Amino acid sequence: MGTQDGDVTAHPGRLATAAVLSLSPYVPGKPISELEREYGVRNIIKLASNESPYGPSPAATVAMHAAIADAWIYPDGSAHELKQVLAAHLKVPSEWVTVGNGSNELLLLLAETFMSAQCSGLCSQYGFAIYPLVIRATGGRCIEVPALPADDPMPYGHDLDAMARAITADTKLVFIANPNNPTGTWVDQQRLRAFIAAAPASTLVVLDEAYVEYARLNGCESGLPWLGEFPNLVLVRTLSKAYGLAGVRVGFAVSHPEVADALNRIRPAFNVSNVAQAGAAAAMADQQHVHETARRVVAERGRMAAALRAMGARLVPSAGNFLLVEVGAAAQVYEQLLRGGVIVRPVAGYGLPRHLRISVGLPEQNDRLLQVLEPLLHRA
Ligand SMILES: Cc1ncc(COP(=O)(O)O)c(C=O)c1O
């Protein structure tokens, strides 16, 4: 057995592809149980993963409880009913809808379906961290386009003009988060439409609208009406945010039916569970709950933003359910917040070592965050 084989015997992980070995795993927000274990802190609040503090519609919870009875049966692999509900809500044919185990799975499926080592995928600096990860996992080249500068009215946001210029003949996918996580920034509707219209037919434009239910209240509208016009446009949405179902994992893509057909060829047959399908269908039926969640969260976001500004913090404009706040020495402030029982999200991994991303919680949770953060800001 040669040296290399010997290495592989001792280190089977090295059998992974070079592309996968080059990746660093996505770092999610710290779970409450971990903070309890590590620091012995109690009464913890987590404002780190952009979940909805209002949870799902009560009707979704009832539907999920009922669906547990079918836990022993495989789910409907085509998610027929859920797709009908989604299609009716979006006013599109159900053949345009592809369901995923969270929208994260759809981002991965898009890359697996359309990319290869011979092509490139494009995203923005400070864009959602999963985009470079799914692009690179295919062995393809990731073109990361510099974001708008810190003194732009949309600091750290996507620079659509620069992104348009960076598309090459081998670019298969462009990822645009509107609004973006972790920045909260959004792009102008007219410019976005012009960007999509100018994109070559050989490039799919993936518009990630994870926060669209909140964003609408900032005038940041969906690209849904453009789908019929642009066959290379793909929308990706999730029930993890305003619908309050992050834990059951449901997302969906809306696209040209041929794109949906291609995605469905590699989509794991039972990727959305019985419980998730039932919960998602019921959650979609209760739009009142979603509107009320968005209304409350956006009002609280405004209140938090005003309070943080009054403390001297600089904020990035946000159309999501979170704020990107410049706090100075963010690693230290993060650590002190943890000791005060508040989990937020450090974003140094995104190249933003002076910022923290803070999800909007319940009013009392936001009060607690402001109270623990204020003295730290003055020291930072
Ligand atoms: C912009 C964006 N897209 C997609 C996702 C993935 O969400 P999920 O897989 O829960 O649908 C997130 C989650 O944070 C996000 O912020």
Give how far the C-alpha of residue 367 lies from the chain's centroid of Cα atoms, to the nearest Å. Answer: 25
**Ligand 1 centroid – CA 49 distance (Å):** 9
| Residue 366 Cβ < 6 Å to ligand 1 | no
DSSP 273-311: -HHHHHHHHHHHH-HHHHHHHHHHHHHHHHHHHHHHHHT
Q: Which element (helix H / strand E) includes 332?
A: helix 330-339
Q: Among residues 212, 238, 220, 239, which one has the least CA distance to residue 321?
A: 212
- Ligand 1 atom having least distance to the Cα of 103: 11
- d(Cα 230, Cα 232) in Å, to the nearest integer? 5
The pTM of the full predicted model, rounded to 2 decimals, is 0.95
Give the pairing type, strands 141-145 and 171-177.
unpaired
Q: Which amino acid is at 272?
A: V
246 contacts 51 by C-beta, under 8 angstroms? yes
- Would you give per-residue pLDDT tens digits along the chain (380 residues)? 444 556 888 898 999 999 999 998 877 778 888 888 888 888 899 999 999 999 999 999 999 999 999 999 999 999 999 999 999 999 999 999 999 999 999 999 999 999 999 999 999 999 999 999 999 999 999 999 999 999 999 999 999 999 999 999 999 999 999 999 999 999 999 999 999 999 999 999 999 999 999 999 988 999 999 999 999 999 999 999 999 999 999 999 999 999 999 999 999 999 999 999 999 999 999 999 999 999 999 999 999 999 999 999 999 999 999 999 999 999 999 999 999 999 999 999 999 999 999 999 999 999 999 999 999 987 65
List beta partners, residue 206. 175, 234
Give the pairing type, strands 251-254 and 233-238.
antiparallel
**Ligand 1 centroid – CA 345 distance (Å):** 14
**Ligand 1 centroid – CA 190 distance (Å):** 24
Burial (CB count <10 Å: 0-12, 13-18, 19+), residue 52? buried
304 contacts 310 by C-beta, under 8 angstroms? no
**Ligand 1 centroid – CA 50 distance (Å):** 9
